[in-house]
Amino acid sequence: MFLRPPKKLTNYGSWALITGSTDGIGKSLSFDLASKGLDLILIGRNPQKLQTTSNEIWAKFKTKIKIILIDFEKTSGEEIKKKIKEEIEGLEVGILVNNVGSSTNGARFYHEIGLEGMGSLVNVNIGSVNWVTSAVLPGMLQRRKGAIVNIGSGSSLVVPSYPLFSIYASTKAYVAMFSRSLSLEYKQLGIDVQCQIPLLVATKLASIKRSSFFVPSPEQYSKASVRWIGYDSLCVPYWTHALQWYLFNAMPDSLVNWLLLRYFLNLRKKILRKENKLA
């Protein structure tokens, strides 16, 4: 599977739309999709980062680029759908990458998050996938071709639980089931829907600065990600992540749960100490 050839992505359409396109996996995917000959629609909430990313990609690939400013945390679903539909009118959007994501500010017990934090996670991690997909899907249906890639998380499938990140992991479980269900619904209509499952990647969201054998850089992960577009409805694109999944599955759930709880409780202590020093 890891050695099979990638699909010719321009066969889906000439444009790719990427959310969360200014940092981490999303930014690297934008570069890699441009390298495959696709024009880009970049969505983000920071106008400076959007413009910088757009300029960097254009300087390297001379591809057409549109930027759309959206804050998924604060904008209603109706507004998001309306804005995207207006911006992509007349464009052959063949690939949609629902990448934007959010997590809690460090390891937190459920009762410490608060209603505002809960709402933010649901809006960004679940709402965005629904709203953007509903804006882009009709055009794909009309053309009877397209690929939708939803970026999930190993926290929702690889391990039996994910303590102190309970809401984040739960939102990503939604993304996985949403993707698998849509894959069955729309495969017969020419649309490939897929949930890609990364484990840890050296990104700002994961609070990891350096890559390693089991923790790829965004650039390393993205290259694997692009090779899997259009294949299985649920996949782990990066090979060392797949190896980790195999190892976790070989361990008793009780042991994995104990290890995770211990690790995240220690992480929480470090975060609290840091916050107390800054207070």
Length of the chain: 279
Contact (Cβ atoms closer than 8 angstroms) between residue 147 and residue 9: yes
pLDDT in tens, the chain (279 residues): 777 899 999 999 999 999 999 999 999 999 999 999 999 999 999 999 999 999 999 999 999 999 999 999 999 999 999 999 999 999 999 999 999 999 998 899 999 999 999 999 999 999 999 999 999 999 999 999 999 999 999 999 999 999 999 999 999 999 999 999 999 999 999 999 999 999 999 988 777 888 999 999 999 999 999 999 999 999 999 999 999 999 999 999 999 999 999 999 999 999 899 888 876
Residue 10 tokens read as 């321009």
Q: Which residues of 48-76 are buried (b: 16+ CB within 10 A; e: fewer)?
A: ebbbebbeebeeebebebebbebebbebe
**Residue positions annotated with a catalytic role:** 168
What is d(CA 267, CA 116) in angstroms, rounded to the nearest whole number? 23
Q: Going by CATH, does the domain composed of 9-278 fall within 3.40.50.2300? A: no
pTM of the full predicted structure?
0.95
Cα-atom radius of gyration of the chain, to the nearest Å?
19
